[in-house]
Structure 1
Amino acid sequence: MNFVKRAGTCLRVRKSRTAALLGIFVVICTLLLGGFLLRSAAARQEADAQRSIGVDVTVKTKALTAELADRLGGKPPVTRYNPLLPITADAQGFKPLTSQLPKPGSSRDGAKDQPPLAVNGVRDSDMLLPFSYGSTKITSGRGVTPKDAGDRVAVIEERLAKKNGLKVGDTLTVRSADGKRSIPVKIVGIFQDPMQDPTQWTPRNELPGNTLYVPIGVAQQLGGAGKLDEAVFKIGSPEQAEQLHAEAKRLLGSSDFTFQVNDKAYKDQVGPIKRVGAFAGMIVWVIALAGALILGLIVMLQMRERRRELGVLLSMGEKKRKLIGQHLVEVAAMCLPAVAVAALAGQLAGPALGDALLTPAQRQTSTQHPDAEVGAPVVRIEPADVGKVAGIGLGIGLVATAIPGIGILRLHPRSILTDSE
């Protein structure tokens, strides 16, 4: 009889043993698939975190200009960047805030000695730390975005807006510190700075309510020097900082520059996700090794119980490799339906598994970094994951059959039948 047909007959005759073997395979395949699903979900969420959070790198140097910042911002691995050009300017047609406290050593306010407005030329205001960490919030409208390059727009503090009755859509005029240029800007957003007004006299351009954010081109038109105060670049992961540092050194030449990597938000978010992914990978290895051991013991016990059957087949001229092949077919025949059952179980229990292990890390980050727009964990069954489970399951079956099968190669029909009597 063909050994494949013989394997099928043995599975039908020994129904209880077949059911036990199938049950063990179902457990092994389900746990393996759970590990793969969790690891894949963690990898997807980690990639999402890299895109939405990333790592901020701050570059400061006297040689840094808007043009150099644009060139460096266009290099990989930069995904977003924001140069900062701070200047002071005068107000035209509206009233800046003033300190209500007397200036030390003088009965006069004296605030008119310097321009009252602190104007910050930016490319992407959302990348500024006060905005990205949520301490400073847009209460109306929006912030400055890269699309505003070349436009005359502004984002103002709500205290300045309230004093002058300004709202989103209104226009105000900002005059350069030397009084030679006046630029009308359209208000596209109003923000709230949590910093309270100082309890002692403070120059008007240092009052939090007199802060404006404009596109960097507007700041340059108002007399801003060509040199930037700093530029912040967002990259995907801390490992990419070295690549950006090399690009910065190439563009900025041999001049000294400060290169600061701020990866706290990235580590807070990605760290827990990586730990979950590592845990899932460990599950896969532990289940694979434990499954091979358990199945190996079961197959070995079954072979011992079937020694007489093996002896009869060998005495009839059956080759030893076909006997091993028969046991391999029996084990493999249980693997395929077990994978199907595991896939069904994973489809039903996968979302709950992801919510239990990955959602807590996401909630932690949402509390610490409100701007982190990381999607909910998505646990879904991919054909590749099912294929991996099937491959590992068959591999476990092969190992569990091959190791005990070594004993078959050393057996002789007469010794088997004699010992079995």
Structure 2
Amino acid sequence: MNLFKRAWWRLSAHLGKTAMLTGLFLVICTLVLSGFLIRSAAARAAGEAKRTVGAVATMQLDLDGLIASGKMDAPSGGQAGMIGAEGDLRRSLVDRVCRSSVVTKCNYTSDAAAFPGKKTRLHQPVPPPAGQDTLGTDLFKADGIRDLGEVAAFRNGDAKLVSGRGITPDSAADEIVVEERVAKANGIGVGDRVALMAGVLPGPGGERDTTEHSFKVVGVYRSGTPDTGRYVPAMTDPANQVYVTPDGASVLMGKGEGAEAVVKQATFTLKDPADLPRLKKDAEAAGADPRVFPLTVNDKQYRALVGPITRTADFATVTVWLVALAGTAILALVVASSLRERRKELGILLSLGERKPRLLGQHLVEVLACALLAIGLAAACSQALSQTVGDRLLAGEVADARNAGADRTPERDPSDPNGGTLPQEPAADPIDSMDVRLGPADIARVGATGLGIAALAVLLPGVRVLRLHPRDILTKGD
């Protein structure tokens, strides 16, 4: 008799057992499909975050690496904190690295200070206490930038231009943008010139360089931080923050300009984080010493964005494996129990000449029929379940990530001989939602998984069928 007919008669004659097997498969397939959908949604979100944020490689001086390279002695005594020319990151080197084929965008910045010229005034509404030495603080804080629009304060709206324009990659070396309170204190506006001196303090017994450098005011901005009404050191007052070009900042650091200009840090936006090894090779070919100016990928923002959703996907993956293994074991026990109950049926069929593989095939058809029905039902209800479960899991991970972000501590600046810290970037808000979509590929994956579980659940205990003998079954009942 045809094994498919026997399988159909068996399923239709024992509807309770058929429903139980189908329900068991429905639970397994629904959980497995939900895990697949959550993983797919997380992968799409992570890919979109990578395209949005990009991977940024940073190049800057590593003071420990400079000392270890033997190009300078460890700072000590009167020379503490002094770094020689070997520690200067030249703009010309950065420009060569920028030509790498894996770089989509590059930028560099400089941190400098400037003494006011003889006719230039700092904004200092409250004078310092009598007798206080302010030589090291009566300076402008001058940041060398390529694009004012990329500065965090202007991106987040804490500062905005009120007249003129900002610094751009095409700006001349002597352009400057000043805060409006400094502009009023000096009676200057867009198009006027302001004189500054290099903000480098002399060494013991030395004299300060009083050469004035003229800068053209191209923009005036307004800081969102008002005056405090009490004395603060001039260099820490936001009103005394000026923005110049990288060449201008190099001059104010007492360095050269043009090919000899020095920058503090260079950043390179990569097409993919995996391109870092190629960028390192290109940087070495351009003349960069990897010990002194190492390249590191700053993927903190990307990890902050995708961390919670990645952990949710990892949990879903573990769930898929656990459900698949547990489901295979449970179904194998169910099939083994069914085979034991049907031993007389098997003995009669074998005595009538039925081949053992066909008996095993009948059981496989019965289980696969239940599995196919369960896969169809799982496809109808898994999307809504996956969205609900995924959102709840993700919400918990996001809450943990935000709490952890609030406890961040500043990182050490490897280029600062005085042990300074890097400025903290605003914490990226992690992805807090996922878009679950059910597609043919997901149904195919859960179908393959479900049918695989069904096959294993039948074949593992079904090996006993191949060892059965009709006489032993009918006479001994085993």
Instruction: Tell me, in whole angstroms, the C-alpha distance in 1 between the residues paired with 2:191 and 2:397.
Output: 45
1:394 Cα deviation after fit: 0.6
Aligned residues: 407
- RMSD value over aligned CA atoms? 4.5
Match of 2:110 in 1: 85
Residue identity in the other structure for 2:20: A
Per-residue displacement from partner, 1:364-419 (whole Å, max 9, x unpaired)? Answer: 55673755265432222233222211111111000000011111111122222223
1:209 Cα deviation after fit: 1.6
Residue identity in the other structure for 1:72: V
- C-alpha distance 392-165 of structure 1, shift in aligned 2 (>3 A): farther
**TM-score (normalizing by structure 2):** 0.69
Residue identity in the other structure for 1:97: H
Indicate whether 1:418 and 2:463 are aligned: no
**Aligned match for 1:354, one of 390, 404, 417:** 390
Instruction: Tell me, in whole angstroms, the C-alpha distance in 2 between the residues paired with 1:148 and 1:104.
Output: 42
Match of 1:332 in 2: 368
1:247 Cα deviation after fit: 3.9
1:292 Cα deviation after fit: 0.4
Query: 1:1-400 alignment to 2 at 5 Å?
Result: 1-50=1-50, 51-52=52-53, 57-60=58-61, 62-73=87-98, 75=100, 81-87=106-112, 88=114, 96-98=122-124, 100-102=126-128, 117-123=140-146, 138-140=158-160, 148-151=168-171, 157=179, 160=182, 171=190, 173-175=192-194, 177=196, 181-187=214-220, 190-192=222-224, 199=231, 202=233, 204=234, 207-214=237-244, 216=246, 224=257, 226-233=261-268, 244-254=279-289, 257-259=292-294, 261=296, 265=301, 267-363=303-399, 365=401, 368=405, 370=426, 372=428, 374-375=430-431, 376-400=433-457
CA contact (8 A) 2:167 2:176 kept: no
Residue identity in the other structure for 1:251: A
CA contact (8 A) 1:92 1:175 kept: no
Instruction: Tell me, in whole angstroms, the C-alpha distance in 2 between the residues paired with 1:304 and 1:110.
Output: 95
CA contact (8 A) 1:41 1:354 kept: no
Instruction: Tell me, in whole angstroms, the C-alpha distance in 2 between the residues paired with 1:146 and 1:406.
Output: 79
Residue identity in the other structure for 2:318: M
CA contact (8 A) 2:120 2:194 kept: no
Instruction: Tell me, in whole angstroms, the C-alpha distance in 2 between the residues paired with 1:401 and 1:158.
Output: 81
Instruction: Tell me, in whole angstroms, the C-alpha distance in 2 between the residues paired with 1:301 and 1:255.
Output: 66
Residue identity in the other structure for 1:19: A
- C-alpha distance 393-413 of structure 1, shift in aligned 2 (>3 A): same
1:320 Cα deviation after fit: 1.2
Match of 1:409 in 2: 466
CA contact (8 A) 2:304 2:430 kept: no
**TM-score (normalizing by structure 1):** 0.77
Residue identity in the other structure for 2:216: I
- C-alpha distance 269-309 of structure 1, shift in aligned 2 (>3 A): same
CA contact (8 A) 1:7 1:330 kept: yes
Per-residue displacement from partner, 1:115-167 (whole Å, max 9, x unpaired)? Answer: x6433222356776x659x9x8534469xx9994215787655755787999x
Which ranges of structure 1 fall in alignment gaps of 5 or more residues?
A: none
Which ranges of structure 2 fall in alignment gaps of 5 or more residues?
A: 62-85, 197-210, 406-424
- C-alpha distance 213-353 of structure 1, shift in aligned 2 (>3 A): farther
Bigger proportion of residues as helix: 1
Identity of aligned residues (%): 34
CA contact (8 A) 1:89 1:174 kept: no
- C-alpha distance 385-146 of structure 1, shift in aligned 2 (>3 A): farther
Residue identity in the other structure for 1:40: S
Instruction: Tell me, in whole angstroms, the C-alpha distance in 2 between the residues paired with 1:195 and 1:394.
Output: 72
Instruction: Tell me, in whole angstroms, the C-alpha distance in 2 between the residues paired with 1:316 and 1:8.
Output: 20
CA contact (8 A) 1:42 1:273 kept: yes
